[in-house]
Amino acid sequence: MATHASEGAKLLQLIKKNHIQHPILAPDSFTSKSFRQTLASLPKEQKNPGYYTNGLYVTTPMIIDMLNEKGQLFKHEFENTFHEAPDWHAAFAYDTIALLVQAMRNPSFSGDSSQLTKDRRVIQQSLASLDSIHHAMEGVTGFVYFDKQGDSQKSVYTGIYKNQQIISTFTQFQMVPNIYEVPDYQNEIKNKHIIPFDDQYMFKINTVYTGIEIKKINDIDMKNMTYHLDFYLWFRYKGNIHPERITFLNAAEKIELGPPVDREKDKNVSYEVYHIRGRFKADFIPGAYAYKERLVGVSFCHDERTRNNLIYVADVLGMRLESRSRMVEKLKKAKVLTPASGYSINDFWVFQNIAEKASLGAPRYLKIQEGKVKFSQFNMGIRIQKNELSLRSMIRYEFVDHLLISNLVIFCLSVCFIEGKGSGGIAA
């Protein structure tokens, strides 16, 4: 249904009024803020959230549950500032500014108004150098780069509305950049992992909704940077893809899932829950913790299926993911970390990104550039802090430099004052 937001909202009302049950696929205008606000003002939508949009398919360049770590951080900061979730326009605007800032950091960029033509050329050349995913800037919307025509090569995702939220559909299609780099591509086409389309090829990617519920974090040993974790892990998916065949990337010992403690199958949707206990390594995500903080949680990827065939995404609905602050409150209320541990929880987030594994000369991967195989990596992180009252723990990280400079200035003035007082005054 190719319309703008306002017309689309009116059409949906008519479709619902006339009880039309056909599946509807709509463009990204149906993900806009104006579209949602128009429907949210209607009495039936207020009484039953999702009344008009539940089951509506949309195409969009960004879906929240597929954001990487930078994207989740952007979402968190945006919500704290504007008290609403960002749409794809906000995310792409942020990446656009980030691209320009990165270009202006080029040593050849002067910033002098008299050198405007030269500076524009520097920016253009800097952007043109981002000509492949191997030379891309990783932004909040993923990797940003441009083709020979200067067009940004961004993915388009398919989402579905559920309870006023857009979540990923079980199947995504992404363009194959070079079919001859795909290991055993003829067999992949035969198995329908790659779909021919309009003289090109597309990866058929299985989306696995993934959720985690923490029961206990105990036996914290920060001398060896390990801890014991007791949690439930579940998958909701379609097809015979075995999402449970995973490797925990931060395991401190061998972790086996064992048989599921619960499983269901509703038509062609499978659901499995696993109860997992074991020791894991802390601080497993570089830069995701600060002074006197530690990061605990889990990180894993599939053993066999690459990111071209399987992606783990956060089960936004199943985990009741509203905001990071509310998740922290839920964890505190559930007492997953007892006061006796000496630590308290101060942040929580989940995201998916890319795990790269060396091909190790495997014949099926010899065609891949750089010899690295990419897998979907699912991450759940809980930031914990030592229970102690100190001035340092009360000061935000970004203010530390300013405080040090202020202290240095005060120290120098104090020295001058003392010396001046000892000599009868400070010389003019």
Residue 425 pLDDT > 60, yes or no? no
% of residues, the chain, pLDDT over 70: 86
What is the C-alpha to C-alpha distance for residues 234 and 244, in angstroms, rounded to an integer?
Answer: 9
Q: How far apart, in whole angstroms, are the C-alpha atoms of residue 254 and residue 333?
A: 30
> What's the pTM value of the predicted model, to 2 decimals?
0.78
| 194 beta partners | 203
- pLDDT score for 216: 96
Closest CA to 150 of 183, 126, 178, 118: 126
- pLDDT score for 426: 45
Is pLDDT at 396 greater than 60 in this prediction?
A: no
User: Measuring CA to CA, which residue among 212, 262, 272, 211 is closest to residue 240?
Assistant: 272
108-122, 210-224, 359-373 — which is least confidently predicted? Answer: 359-373
Q: Is residue 47 part of a domain?
A: yes
Residue 184's pLDDT is: 81
Q: Say if CB 236 and CB 271 are below 8 A apart.
A: yes
Instruction: Determine, yes or no, domain membership for 180.
Output: no
Count structural domains, the chain. 2
Average pLDDT, the chain: 86
Q: Domain boundary at 35, 60, 85, which?
A: 60
Give mean pLDDT, residues 210-225.
94
Please state the rounded mean pLDDT for residues 237-252.
Answer: 96
Q: In Å, how far from its chain's centre is CA 139?
A: 11
* 230 falls within a domain: yes
**Can you read off the two tokens belonging to residue 73?**
């951080």
Q: Which two tokens stand for residue 59?
A: 């195409």
Q: What is the mean pLDDT of residues 203-210?
A: 95
Q: Evaluate whether residue 38 is within a structural domain.
A: yes
CA–CA separation, 92 and 87 (whole Å): 9
Whether 41 contacts 6, CB under 8 Å: no
Instruction: Look at residues 33, 60, 87 and tell me which one is the last residue of a structural domain.
Output: 60
The encoded tokens of residue 153 equal 């090569």
pLDDT band at 427 (very low <50, low <70, confident <90, very high): very low
Note the pLDDT tens digit of each residue in 4-52. 999 999 999 999 999 998 999 999 999 998 999 999 999 999 999 999 9
- How does pLDDT run across 384-394, given as a tens digit for each residue? 998 865 454 44
Closest CA to 154 of 26, 59, 33: 59
The CATH number of residue 324's host domain is 2.70.170.10
- Looking at per-residue confidence, does 338 or 252 come out higher? 252
In a domain? residue 105: no
Examine the pLDDT at 336 and tell me if it is beyond 50. yes
Of 166, 154, 249, the closest CA to residue 207 belongs to 166
Decide if 410 is inside a domain: no
User: Does residue 87 fall inside a structural domain?
Assistant: no
Range scoring the smallest mean pLDDT among 53-62, 134-143, 293-302: 134-143
- Over its C-alpha atoms, the chain yields an Rg (Å, rounded) of 26
**Domain range enclosing 320:** 207-386
The least confident of 148-152, 258-262, 283-287, 323-327 is 283-287
Given 60, 86, 106, which residue is the final one in a domain? 60
Q: Is residue 272, in this structure, part of any structural domain at all?
A: yes
